[in-house]
Amino acid sequence: MKPISHFIFEALFLKQIPRSGYQFLGAGRESVAEHVYATTLIAFVLSRLEPKADTERLLTLCLFHDLPEARIGDMNYVQKRYVQTDEKAALADALSDLPFQAEIEALLSEFNAGDTLEARLARDADQLALLVDLKSLRDIGYRSPQEWLPHVVQRLQTQTAKDLAQELLRTPRDQWWLRLFY
């Protein structure tokens, strides 16, 4: 049980790891764990819009997609240009002695390869989580997210995610509650 206990503490350490791209944006902040939650929630929605998707597999891909960041941190695009990390070694160390090590390694390999429907949807959910944050910041008056949004949309792979992105971009971030009163 000791390795499982260590694994839980390590995975939950993602609550302490800040997402680094917001530094370049100049606004907003989010922990890796907050991002994982948003990604997983959006993946659930995508699974309902894509009936052929295996929901459990998709959600599990999203749940673990950033697990290595507990050891290597969140590397933004500038850092990735100059810094090499060993995600496989970080993951192997994090999962050593766990009875489900191979299962999580296979999930992350599938996510990174992006070849299955579930992996493409998981990667889209990852991008849509960023899109929602950028759109929310734009809605409250920040200009810099406007420059980032087209690049995020361009990375989407599935038509379902592209359609959802367009609706998210059209919808004011506070409309969900304003419509209750006005």
| Tens of pLDDT, residues 138-150 | 999 999 999 999 9
* Within-domain flag for 142: yes
Compute the distance between CA of residue 50 and CA of residue 71 in angstroms, rounded to an integer. Answer: 33
pLDDT for position 43: 98
pLDDT for position 167: 98
pLDDT score of 26 more than 90: no
Domain housing 160: 2-177
Query: Which pTM does this prediction carry?
Result: 0.95
CATH number of the domain encompassing residue 85: 1.10.3210.10
Compute the distance between CA of residue 132 and CA of residue 138 in angstroms, rounded to an integer. Answer: 10
pLDDT for position 91: 94
**For the segment 28-38, what is each residue's pLDDT rounded down to a tens digit?**
999 999 999 99
pLDDT for position 77: 87
> Count of domains in the chain?
1
* Within-domain flag for 53: yes
CA 180 from chain centre, in angstroms, equals: 30
- What confidence tier does 25 reach under pLDDT thresholds 50, 70, 90? confident
* Within-domain flag for 182: no
Compute the distance between CA of residue 73 and CA of residue 82 in angstroms, rounded to an integer. Answer: 15
- What confidence tier does 182 reach under pLDDT thresholds 50, 70, 90? confident
Place of tokens 């810094």: 83
